[in-house]
Amino acid sequence: MVEKRRNKTRKGVLRMTYIIMGPQGSGKGTQAKLIAKEYGLEHVSIGDLLRKEVASGSEKGKMLHEYMKQGKLIPLQINNEIIKEVLDKNKNIILDGYPRNIEQAKFLLEHAEIKAVIVINISEEESIKRLSKRLICTANNKIYVEDQITDQDKEECESQGGQIIKRDDDKPDAIKKRLEIYNKETKPVVSVLEQKTFIVEINGEKPPEQIFEEIKQKLKFIK
């Protein structure tokens, strides 16, 4: 079915890349953290890397923020540089938030061996419902649900020098734009990738623990 490419890093060590995809709020970040822990992978969230750059206050960060707060994709060139750097670090990774269009998918296929792509599906209504309640800790990117937050959560985040906040792209206009881009540009990436690697499709409208179990079950069949 798939012709496996054995891409090696510059140091000659075999590198393995998993990808997690799905619409906004489908639980990519939530599941990627669990998968990373289970399989000894590094969780690379492009969104988190970009937010770190924004928080640094650099000129580049200011420019990125203009795209992100409107829910738009950041320019291809910057993204590819980030990915190149991540891949050159020579680790087994799970990529969360990349690729998001055909150009990015082509770039990735040239630079990495993709072990599997996990696609989490949820409805647009569910995306909007979840994102309007999501909060994150600025210190460690931990994800919270607004009405379930505890004093202990706040203390934990503050003790690391962070604050629990609403992301500025989790507002109605930006959510709408992000979903539009997902449907138009990101969804078609799945059919490009399925010609090269294994696709694992998951219904994301179940409890997180159940989704994680299903992912593990399906990954068992991928050599």
List interacting residues with ligand AP5 (CB under 6 A).
22, 24-30, 45-47, 50, 67-68, 71-74, 79, 97-98, 100, 104, 130-131, 134, 143, 145, 169, 178, 204, 207-208, 211
Residue nearer to ligand AP5 on the CB measure, 4 or 173: 173
Question: In the complex, what is the shortest distance from the CB of residue 20 to ligand AP5, in angstroms, rounded to a whole number?
Answer: 8
The residue sitting closest to ligand AP5, measured at its beta carbon, is 47
Burial class (CB within 10 angstroms; exposed 0-12, middle 13-18, buried 19+) of 26? buried
Residue nearer to ligand AP5 on the CB measure, 66 or 155: 66
Residue nearer to ligand AP5 on the CB measure, 46 or 112: 46
| CB-based contacts of 96, cutoff 8 Å, min separation 6 | 20, 28, 29, 32, 43, 44, 45, 46, 47
Question: In the complex, what is the shortest distance from the CB of residue 77 to ligand AP5, in angstroms, rounded to a whole number?
Answer: 11
Phi, psi of 142 (to 5 degrees): -65, 145
Residue nearer to ligand AP5 on the CB measure, 4 or 106: 106
Residue nearer to ligand AP5 on the CB measure, 8 or 62: 62
Question: In the complex, what is the shortest distance from the CB of residue 148 to ligand AP5, in angstroms, rounded to a whole number?
Answer: 8
Question: In the complex, what is the shortest distance from the CB of residue 68 to ligand AP5, in angstroms, rounded to a whole number?
Answer: 4
